[in-house]
Amino acid sequence: MIKGTLPVMYKYYEDNYKKNGFILNKQEENVYKEFDKEIQLNEGDRVYLQGFRIVYWKFVDLDNDLIIYSLKEE
């Protein structure tokens, strides 16, 4: 996991994630990526997304046809 001040972290996002379609939410201090295709993951699954990550949280919003996965670096 990368650590540093907010300006350092924002620069890291600009250099490493933005060009690959990730979105930075400065208010909540998180980075995410939206996909418009079906992906079925479960907690504990491993995925490769700019490095290997583990799905540690999954949220299903049936009313809005939305699934949110939280990933952490291995």
Q: What is the pLDDT of residue 7?
A: 86
Give the Å distances, CA to CA, from 66 to 12, 23, 40, 59.
28, 17, 12, 8
> Is 39 a member of any domain?
no
Check: pTM over 0.85? Answer yes or no: no
> Which structural domain range is residue 59 located in?
44-74
Q: What is the pLDDT of residue 51?
A: 87
Q: What is the pLDDT of residue 25?
A: 92
Give strand pairing partners of 59.
Answer: 68
> Looking at the structure, do residues 4 and 25 belong to the same domain, yes or no?
yes
Tell whether the model's pLDDT for residue 1 goes beyond 70. Answer: no
Tell whether the model's pLDDT for residue 23 goes beyond 80. Answer: yes
Average pLDDT, the chain: 89
Counted domains in the chain: 2
